[in-house]
Amino acid sequence: MNRIDKMNNGGEAELVYGDGEFHVVRPGAYVICAVTGAKIELDDLRYWNVDLQEAYATPEASLKRHQEKHLVK
């Protein structure tokens, strides 16, 4: 099964976020932004936090979460 096959079920994917890459645990087409609640297609996923295991739709959403968690001042 290749990457495209894994995404074709159309539902929400479950991922494990690593440094510079993610691994698909449960196949799906998208993940949910932890800040905005927006759907993020896996091909568009660029921002996540390894420690919090969260995905973010935009760099602004990522910064907001980091500020909320006191990771960035």
Tell me the pLDDT tens digit for each residue of 13-38: 999 999 999 999 999 999 999 999 99
With a threshold of 0.85, does the pTM exceed it?
A: no
**CB-hemisphere CA count at 13 Å for 7?**
13
Q: What is the pLDDT of residues 35-60, one digit of tens each?
A: 999 999 999 999 999 999 999 999 99
Q: Is residue 19 part of a domain?
A: yes
> Can you give the pLDDT at residue 6?
46
Q: Is residue 23 part of a domain?
A: yes
> Can you give the pLDDT at residue 1?
38
User: How many structural domains is the chain composed of?
Assistant: 1
Which stretch of DSSP H or E encloses residue 63? helix 59-68
Domain carrying residue 45: 3-68
